[in-house]
Amino acid sequence: LLWQAALGCRAAQVLMQYCILANHYWFLVEAVYLYKLLIGAVFSEKNYYRLYLYLGWGTPVVFVVPWMAAKYLKENAEGGGAGLCVPHAVFFPPHQINLLIFMRILKVILAKLRANQKGYADYKLRLAKATLTLIPLFGIHEVVFIFATDEQTTGILRYVKVFFTLFLNSFQGFLVAVLYCFANKEVKSEMKKKWQLWKLDH
């Protein structure tokens, strides 16, 4: 029973590290997908769905498997449960790319709003709204604290980091669903139709 508990604990730890990494790489998939929609002329009509799946679910495996092997070897060498975390640098690439895509998309949005200044007198407000909307989708909040590791942050800064990280990570899916699904005019129209049909049936 003891070895089963230890095995279950290790499996849970590996799954947790994989899910954390997958979350970070799906931020990148969302950013690439949105960039493809906005800068559609650069891309062919080819379906990238499978590539997105490989990037979102496959890339974390590339990092988790070597980490798992290194952890296993370290524990055997030291004869105990030596702690070994996935290197912090693994989280840099998706967020660096996301930050670049984020800035590029804001540049495109600003150019389009400026080109239609007569139609959009409040284009600065629209740009601010677009910026705030893209932050949870791209995981830009992660960039703020990516260089401030748990070891480097102390006192109030540590509490601020933990609060924002946990809050935004916990509600990221909800924020994206509200902003990009439930606030969408087409989705609201379909939901209204379904509601009216349901009322008629009952």
pLDDT in tens, 17-59: 888 888 888 888 888 888 887 776 545 556 778 888 898 999 9
Contact call for residues 134 and 68 (beta carbons, < 8 A): no
Radius of gyration over alpha carbons of the chain, in Å?
22
Q: Could you tell me if residue 61 is inside a domain? A: yes
CA distances from residue 103 to 31, 40, 114, 135 in whole angstroms, order as listed: 11, 17, 16, 11
Q: Which amino acid is at 10?
A: R
47 token code pair: 């379906």
Q: Total structural domains in the chain?
A: 1
Contact call for residues 143 and 95 (beta carbons, < 8 A): yes
Window from 40-54, 101-115, 151-165 with minimum mean pLDDT: 40-54
User: What's the pLDDT tens digit per position in 78-106?
Assistant: 655 545 566 666 777 887 888 888 888 88
The pTM (predicted TM-score) of the whole model is 0.67
Dist CA 22 CA 73 (whole Å): 24
Q: Could you tell me if residue 50 is inside a domain? A: yes
Q: Could you tell me if residue 89 is inside a domain? A: no
Give the per-residue pLDDT at 57: 92
Q: Could you tell me if residue 76 is inside a domain? A: yes
Q: Could you tell me if residue 21 is inside a domain? A: yes
Range of the domain at 48: 1-82
**Given a cut of 80, is residue 65 above it in pLDDT?**
yes
Q: End-to-end CA distance of the chain: give it in Å, rounded.
A: 54
Q: Could you tell me if residue 136 is inside a domain? A: no
CA distances from residue 67 to 62, 74, 151 in whole angstroms, order as listed: 9, 10, 20
